[in-house]
Structure 1
Amino acid sequence: MCREETRKEKVLPYYSLDDIRKHASREDRWIVIDDLVYDVTSWGKMHPGGEKLISNHAGEDATDAWVAFHNDRKAVSKYLRPLLVGKVREEERKVSELIHDFRDLRQKVEDMGLFKASVVFFTWTVGQVIALEALAWLIFWQFGTSWVPYLVATLLLTTAQAQAGWSQHDFGHLSVFNSSRWNHILHVFIINFLKGASSDWWNYRHFQHHAKPNVVRKDPDIRLDYILLVGDKLPVEWGKRKKGAMPYHHQHQYFYFIMPPLLLPLYFNFEIPYFLISRGKWAELFWMGTFFLRWHIIFSPFISVGGIFALFFFVRFFESHWFVWTTQMNHIPMEVDKDHSLDWVTMQLQATCNVDQSAFNDWFSGHLNFQIEHHLFPTMPRHNYHKVAPLCKSLCEKHGLKYESKPLFKAFSDIIGSLKRSGKLWYEAYHM
């Protein structure tokens, strides 16, 4: 602390960035937003995005992450005012040219109206889910449950569940309504009632991923250590320390039998109830349960209770393949490392890549083929990604950042190629 100034009636001390970095423990957490210093130690447990999201930014400038995750920043700011403890020293407030340009770009796309959602588009995305389920029911009603209609209905239900997954993602990111409350209500309706999962669980995992993508111990999507090792650094570290219970040099082969078929029907169906019960999220558990009640009411005229659960797991089995290949193609082949407190843009670009645009790719991936744009602007409605993409590419070209886009099947094959490379690195380090 070097000097004091009067801000209205409150005297705010000035802190250096080194001072702020010292406040990064579980018992003492400070963050910086727009050069103001906040003590968020007690706020962490009340944070809607989860305490982990706060702790992962402790001791850092979280300005760009805060802007990225909050649409109504004026409303959110009222929660920050009581937490204000100081300011960053004036001589340490200068940001890099990259971040300066990115913030200008953010303002430009806001002025262009690219954060405004299309009612027609999102009505269609939700409507197709309901229509596909209704069509599956009609097939059972009209043709019975012999193998051909059963498989056709399963295909329709799988598609409905996959598209519901992309749709809930939109509402979870607050990219549809201006009101966070209405986004949350529709998020619960889609992910809990239509999909049988949990809004709170999804928020807890997914916002950590966005805040620190591909960062070891901070991104839950890469916590695969005891099954798969990813990236170029972690496998070497584990190999040198003789860690690991799996033959990681074969992980590019056993991946096919573990991740795509089992993630949704096995792991998530264990993790979600455990998450909710351990935290006492009984309302979430209730709304998740309404999915199974709904399926029982819809399909019990055609199949038994056991048959309904068999249908559920059959659908989840196929959906899991769709989900894993689509979500991992943008991240697993990219850089994986420990947290080096990189700026928002550099961190997102080194951990994400795009898949080439086409009408099919957009629909199949829920526009997550525009992963770069999505990670830079997570609250932007996905139907506007293609409009901001050229601007993001220009920003990357100006600052020498790699903007990678590839064909769909090349993206799929790169998952396997990167797993093979990581496994080889582990094997060589282990036997060095």
Structure 2
Amino acid sequence: MPPCAKGEAATQGIKTKPIITLEQLKAHDKKGDVWVAIEGKVYDVSKWAAHHPGGEHLLENMAGQDATAVFLAFHTEHGSGGQARKILQFLPHVADVYLPPETKLQIAFRKLRDQVDSDGLYKTSVSFYVCLGIWIAFLFSAMLYLTLTAHNIAQAIFAGAVFALFLQQCAFVGHDTSHNGITHRRFTDSVIGWIIGPSVTGISTAWWKRSHNAHHVVTNSTTHDPDIQHMPAFAITEDLFKKGGTWSYYHKRLFHFDSLAKFLISYQHFFYYPIMSFARLNLYLQSWLLVLNFDVKMEYRTVEIACLMIYWTWLSLLISCMPSVQLRLAFFFTSHMLAGILHVQITISHFSMPTYTGASFPAHPGEEFLRQQLYTSMDLESYWWNNWFYGGLQWQVAHHLFPRLPRHNLPEVKKRLQVLCQEHGLEYKSVGWWKGNAEILYSLRKAAMKARSTKVISFQESLLWAGMNAEG
């Protein structure tokens, strides 16, 4: 019997909750019937899911599973942890779950998590972000000056290059705020995010949080992770198309392997960098699609829309000050194509890593979250002189396991994780920038060769169509 059940009976004088197994818990994994286990207690979050600040889809991804590790990673005492635990007290506690004894790996990771907290690694360095703010302000000022004084193509291109660097650096801060990794106060970090995100870079923080948090929970799941669902443009593994396509539980639609998808995927290793150069335009589109989709529950929708309008207003006015159409186009396309380096940074830590299918990662109970992140993520090697360029994305494994941690403390956590992995025979993958790019191209080419020999399946022949028309 879990300690929590025994404790309740002894201290509150109430009947103990029924004890269920992990297999029985898995039966409650559907919309409208969402049970999750946290620290031995099973909660029915079916009704609460729609009110979850992170989005209903996150709880549905963890439905029927022990969500303890994910809960502790995202609800630390330095962020929303206190509020989350208060909410748990009001959710239906329907059962307790029998969990097998902790493994040596579980114990070691729990101790590491406690040490990270007790050693003050969640504490944010004010000086770090002050310096970062000065750097970003300098880039913005330089961009304004260079743009307003540009009188030839070369000057417009240079101004665009500085703007690209500004957009990249702002994105890193936006990433920090979306994880509540600066002040650890949700609203305060949201305000910083609205300024640095939709107002000055044109990307909705709400869209980013919704998509990115799902990516963190189900990293590299072919069916659930939106960050690897890019058909018809890309497919990092044949599992995304070998059965005629993939049903996305995030997008709620089929990514169909049709003739267009086959052609693009067959040559995706050639298209990768050109598409990354224009990927920012897609982020603009996705931002507007979310904020204008009133069927999706969203906090501060009006604020997000207003901030996006501010971005397009000031950027349009700035570009209009340039003396010719040629200079305006040179500035816009240079800035947005060079900003594509950011999209390479986003994909490089996961595109070449293994994938799996479904919402639950196959591993020993209690080890799923740790093993999932080590299996699906990799770091990039960096040094004191170029850490600024990567913006914290180079420490991807540590970040995925400790998503609320301030960026500047991730290197220390990486060292500790590497020691843990060495002691338990696990791989902590970390490669250089060029090798990381080479591995992406290799993975894309490998999938491309499979796509060329895979038959295109019409929608009427697909498994989805068969399911929709099943009888009996």
Would the TM-score normalized by the shorter structure come out above 0.5? yes
Contact 1:249–1:423 (8 Å) recurs in 2: yes
Find out whether 1:274 has 2:282 as its counterpart: no
After TM superposition, list the pairs within 5 Å mapping 1:114-193 onto structure 2.
Answer: 114-141=121-148, 143-193=149-199
3-state SS of 1:278 partner? coil
Contact 2:37–2:68 (8 Å) recurs in 1: yes
Tell me the CA shift for residue 235 of structure 1: 4.9
Tell me the CA shift for residue 124 of structure 1: 2.2
CA 1:286–1:109 in 2, change beyond 3 Å: closer, same or farther? same
Partner Cα distance (1:269, 1:403) in 2: 34
Partner Cα distance (1:306, 1:14) in 2: 71
TM-score, reference length from structure 2: 0.83
Q: Residue 327 of structure 1 corresponds to which residue in structure 2?
A: 346
Partner Cα distance (1:305, 1:188) in 2: 31
Q: 2:56 aligns with which of 42, 51, 58?
A: 51
Tell me the CA shift for residue 256 of structure 1: 3.1
Matched residue type, 2:83:
A
Tell me the CA shift for residue 263 of structure 1: 1.5
Q: Residue 263 of structure 1 corresponds to which residue in structure 2?
A: 279
- Which one has a larger percent helix, Structure 1 or Structure 2? 1
Matched residue type, 1:283:
V
Q: Residue 248 of structure 2 corresponds to which residue in structure 1?
A: none
Worse-matched range after superposition: 358-367 or 372-381: 358-367
Q: Residue 17 of structure 2 corresponds to which residue in structure 1?
A: 13
Matched residue type, 1:132:
L
Tell me the CA shift for residue 237 of structure 1: 4.3
3-state SS of 2:183 partner? coil
Q: Residue 421 of structure 2 corresponds to which residue in structure 1?
A: 396
Q: 2:83 aligns with which of 56, 75, 79?
A: 75
Tell me the CA shift for residue 314 of structure 1: 4.2
Contact 2:202–2:284 (8 Å) recurs in 1: no
CA 1:233–1:297 in 2, change beyond 3 Å: closer, same or farther? closer
Tell me the CA shift for residue 379 of structure 1: 0.8
Partner Cα distance (2:283, 2:382) in 1: 30
Tell me the CA shift for residue 233 of structure 1: 3.8
Q: Residue 291 of structure 1 corresponds to which residue in structure 2?
A: 311
Find out whether 1:421 has 2:446 as its counterpart: yes
Partner Cα distance (1:427, 1:305) in 2: 42
Tell me the CA shift for residue 401 of structure 1: 1.6
Structure 1: segments with no counterpart, 5+ residues? none
Tell me the CA shift for residue 145 of structure 1: 3.0
3-state SS of 2:292 partner? helix
Partner Cα distance (2:157, 2:136) in 1: 18
Q: Residue 372 of structure 1 corresponds to which residue in structure 2?
A: 397
Partner Cα distance (1:249, 1:50) in 2: 35
Tell me the CA shift for residue 11 of structure 1: 4.2
TM-score, reference length from structure 1: 0.90
Partner Cα distance (2:230, 2:294) in 1: 23
CA 1:103–1:87 in 2, change beyond 3 Å: closer, same or farther? farther
3-state SS of 2:34 partner? strand
Paired residues in the alignment total 425
Tell me the CA shift for residue 15 of structure 1: 3.2
Partner Cα distance (2:323, 2:75) in 1: 45
Structure 2: segments with no counterpart, 5+ residues? 246-255, 296-300, 363-367, 457-472
Tell me the CA shift for residue 167 of structure 1: 0.9
Q: Over residues 267-316 of structure 1, what are the superposed CA-to-partner deviations in whole Å (9 max), with x where a residue is unaligned? A: 22222111110127333111111112233455554458997687445422
